[in-house]
Structure 1
Amino acid sequence: MTRTMTRRLVAGALGAAVALTGLPGTAVAAPRDTAISVGRLVLEPTDRGYAGSLPVTVTYRGPEASYLDLTITEPVPGAFAGLDPADPCSYGVAQPARTIYCQVPGGPLQRGERRRFTVDFQVFTTTRTYPMITPGGQIGVTTGDRNPKNDTATFAALFRATTGSLRAPRSYVRDTSTDAAVAAGPAALTRQEDGSWLGRVPVTIRVAGDAPHDGYWLTPTLPSGVEIVGIEPIEACTASCLVAGGVFMPGEEREVSLLIRAPAEVSPGALGTGSVLLNATFGWGDVLTDIDEADNTASFDVTAG
């Protein structure tokens, strides 16, 4: 055997050994347990901002059936609207965008299964005659087993213009501070059949700008002996009351009534002056800072009879 042939045989044997032992060089990486891919997220103009869906495809190659976990980072803070098909999700801390934790809808995936679904988004901002774009969206999938092989995909939110165009989009920058104001009218309490007094405080809330928020809350301070008993339209109401209707559009105004009560022993006449404080919350109930806090409080008179 010639020396040249001997060198070739030795080199081939070494190459095979590298591939088998997984040493750096010619080794082939093992396939992922999961793979995720996304389409394009186009947000269409609607009568309440923009809405659209991100197409997602997940492929599972694990050895046995498994639930798959999703981690979704919003491209626009507060924009996540759910999964289709629907599946429960939980929210992380807003920083300012939230991280959303879900499972791939439809139950456990079988080995080799490919599943498609959408992630829905809605942005409550004024629609524009020009297209916009914002990057930063990300979605990841994990198998949740002891040795997961995971995958992630990034995406941007593309806002279609009211003219229908998607060409040459401008950057979309959302407000970071709320800009809201509250006004309140006087409350006249009337005697009830049981002798107690009941009345309404008319309240008007106006929101400017598109800072992300989950809702607005009213916190009343009432004259001695008067208590809050509810809000109309009906919403959660204890020490503070949630304004019905969900997220506000820029420039939107809503009217509600705080229901207040005084006991039967209260005499007719002026009961004093109350006030109401307006605050917005986002994420885990964090209270947001308003541009002008002076117009976030309104006073009102309370009279019995």
Structure 2
Amino acid sequence: MSLSQFSNPLWLLFLLVVATLVVGYVLVQRRRHRNTLRFTNFALLERVAPDRPGWIRHVPVLLLVLSLVFFTVALAGPTRDERVPRNRATVIMAIDVSLSMQATDVEPTRLAAAQEAAKSFADGLTPGINLGLVAFAGTASVLVSPTTNRDATKAAIDNLQLSERTATGEAIFTSLQSISTLAAVLGGGDEAPPARIVLLSDGKQTVPESPDDPRGGFTAARQAKDQGVPVSTISFGTTYGRVEIESDRIPVPVDDESLREIADLSGGSFFTASSLEELRKVYDTLEEQIGFETRRGDASRPWMLLGVLFATTGLATALVFRQRLP
């Protein structure tokens, strides 16, 4: 345990006082022993007190000294990391609804599996988080503004409709706008609540052609970084996925590279999933990351309890074995 883990580390200096008391006790015992050897008639001592006290007479003092150590640590205010549910945060789920999401490489289809996992994610988030939903294909739309009403979000997830093309950048820009709107409505506070975008997609951006375009995915990720909103991306599907469009079997492999770059540029995390079970695990991980925060909490109670326990035991031992308090 380092000094940085104490809220009042100066109290630890009291341990020097405890150490001084220990040294003083040892010196007193040595002096008493020397005086005994110098002035005692051993023949008479054997007849009067044949059973002289042994090491057990030091136990009460030892226990009391340890109690002082524990009390000192408690006064120094030890702390520990505690996971606390967030009660102020905004999360936008951005879900790809391009035609490639009808591929059946993930049973029953990519979209159906994504819908089921997204609803489980909504149910698992801590109640105080505002959750919104953005669907994107050639354009992006806010289907549900950030709210704590999970039923509204899940109903919108059930009604997702497929469309042509993929505008990943628009999904991020639209999500950022939704987050800003909520922050403006809420107002108050020194700073806006933490926010994150969780973007699920299965393919490469097609609108605009370049991700570095002013409305492209990489540009949007950089803006998200500037606004302090990480984008966690999920590449969902396989490399052998295909869809049938107008009797043609068109390959729709996942595009891990661009989604990983978006996550890196924005300060978010990148995940892959090629099945419903894997996607659920990804969302479980995100629930832990988003739904809880780590704070430094007070950890003095165990030390205080140890101090009380050792002090009480020390006094009881003194009364039982020495018939007096030390």
Compute the TM-score of the two structures, normalised by the length of structure 2: 0.25
Decide which structure has greater helix share. 2
Where relative contact order (Cα < 8 A, 6+ residues apart) is larger, the structure is 2
